Chains A and B, each alone.
Chain A
C-alpha cells in the first residue's frame, strides 16, 4: 500500500479503490506533493461511501503545489502488513531545493538509488549558502517529493526512503 507514486492517474485511483476493497480497509489516506486522497468506507457496507468518492475527486483536482500539509507527517510510516519501513526525509531549513551539485550535473540520487547513511541527497540553498542534506537512513529512494529548483519550507518532505 505504501508503494510510491509520483503521479496519480485514473488507473491508479481505480487500483487504490480495488485494494481498499480487497483488504477490507475502513479508511485509507495518502498524501504527496500537491495531492491528498482520502477514502473511507461505511462500516457494514460493502460499497464506497457516497461522501468518500467525491472527496477523493476533489482532492485530485485541487493541486496547490506549495500548500503545506495541514498536519505534520510522522518521520517513518510503518506498513505493517508488508513489514517494510518508509522513512521520510524532511527539510531542516527554508530555502531552494537542488537535486544536483551544479546546473547540468547528474542528480545526487534518483528514484531507485540505494543510499547509505551520511550520503548527500540534495542541496538546499539558503542565504547564498549551499547546504548539503545527508541521508539519516540506509535504503532505497522510492519517492522525490520536490522538483529541482523549487522553494521548500521548514519540515517539507523531500524524499521517501524504503529502509533496509
Chain B
C-alpha cells in the first residue's frame, strides 16, 4: 500500500481524498495556489506545497509543478480528483516515467476515451449501443434522405467541426431535410470554415443515465449500478440520484453486463463512468466514458456502501477489488444537490466571504464541502461550494430529507443556488420522477409567478 499520496486538486474533492487516506492510514500532501493558502485541504493534509499563482493554468493544471511537489515530498502516488488534471493522459504518462502511481486508468485508456469518435467506434465494436448515424459526412441531399430514412426521424444534422449548438438542426420530416442540410452546411462553413455535416438520430427529452464501474489489475470488473443526472443546465449537472426512477432491476442487470463487457474489452482499470442517453422507450445510447472519479460519486456510495475513493487507491496499489458483483447490493435511494456560489435566478457567480455556513445533519444527511464560516470563495475556480447528499429508505424519504436539509441550511455573505434546488425538488414532475435533460429548460422558462408564490 502507498505511504504518501499527493492530491492534485483543491476544494471539497481534495478533502474527500484526505478522508479516504486518513481512514487507510496513508499520509497526504496537499498542493495549493496562492489563492488557497488558507484552505481546509492545506490545513488537514500532512504536508503541503505551494505550486503557483492563483490561475489554474499556472498551478493546478501545471504538470511539472505537481510532479516536482510529489518528488520533493516523496509521495508515491498522485490522486487527481476530478476536473483539472484528472483526465490528462500526459500526467498519467509522466507519473509512469517518474515511478509515481497515477490513481486512475492507464494513459492509453484515458487517451482512447478522450477521442470521442474513436471511443464510439470501440464501444460499438464491443457491443455497446450507440446512436445510429451517418458514420461520416453526408455530401448530398439524396444520401441524407436515404440515411435519415434508415435511422428514422427525428434526426439531427450536425457539423463535424461543430460545438456550442452552432451548425445543428433538428429535422422531423423528410420535407424539411434538404433545407436543413443546406442551412447547417452554410452555418458550419461560416462558423468553423468546414462545411461538413453528418446525421444522427435525435432523442427527444432523453434521460442522462450513467453506470459506475471499478476494475482492478487482475481482470476483475464490477458495476455499482447507475446514477440519473438528467437535471442539468447547459450540460452542467445540478441534481443527481441513484438509483434512477426509470430503471428496474432487470434493465440494471442488462446494462451493467454491457458496460462490464465494454470495460473488459478496453482493459479498463480503476474507476470509470459510462454515460448514456436513454430515450422515452427505455433504449440506451452510449455517449462517453469519464475516466475519473465523478462529482456525483457519493450517491453511489450511499446506496452501495462502497467507498469508491478507497477502492481507487487500493486498485492503484495493485490490490484486488474488495467486492465481487454478487456482493454489490443497493439499499434505499440517494440524492445529491450541487450547491454553487451563484445567483439562483441569474446564475451569475457570487464569490466572496462566507460569513455564516451551517448545514444541519440528522439521519441520512452527508455533506461534502470545503466551506466554513469566515471562508473565502475565490473567483479563480469553479463555483461549487458544497454537495449535500441525502439517503433514505426510498426516493420519497431521500427527497424529504433533502428538503428539510436545504430549508435549514444557512449560508450568509454570498448567494447560493439553494433556493433553486428547493424549487426543483418541490416540482411535481421531479417528485414523480418524470425527469429528462429538457427538465431545466422547461422549468426556467415557466413564469416567475410560481417562484414568487413559493417565496412568500
- List residues of A whose CB falls within 8 A of some B CB: 66, 68, 70, 72, 93-96, 126-127, 151-156
Contacts and interface: CB of A to CB of B under 8 A. Distances in A.
B372 interface: no
Contact of B72 (A68, A70, A151): A151
Interface string B42-57: 0000011111110000
Given A151-B73, A153-B50, A93 B68 contact: yes
B34 interface: yes
Contact of B98 (A127, A151, A155): A127
Chain A interface, >50% SS class = loop
Contacts of A94: 49-51, 65, 68-69, 72
A104 B53 CA distance: 34
Contacts of A68: 37, 48, 50
B72 A95 contact: yes
Interface residues of B, number: 20
B67 interface: yes
Interface string B213-232: 00000000000000000000
Nearest to B49: A153
A163 to B, nearest CB: 24
A34 B8 CA distance: 26
Residue picked from A94, A153, A155, most chain B C-beta under 10 Å: A94
Contacts of B67: 126-127
A93 B37 contact: no
Nearest to A70: B37
A153 B73 CA distance: 11
A95 B49 CA distance: 10
B60 to A, nearest CB: 12
B427 interface: no
Given A68-B37, A96-B72, 18 more contacts: A66-B47, A72-B34, A93-B64, A94-B51, A94-B68, A95-B71, A126-B65, A127-B68, A127-B71, A127-B94, A127-B98, A151-B73, A152-B72, A154-B34, A154-B51, A154-B52, A154-B59, A156-B50
A151 to B, nearest CB: 3
Contacts of B94: 127
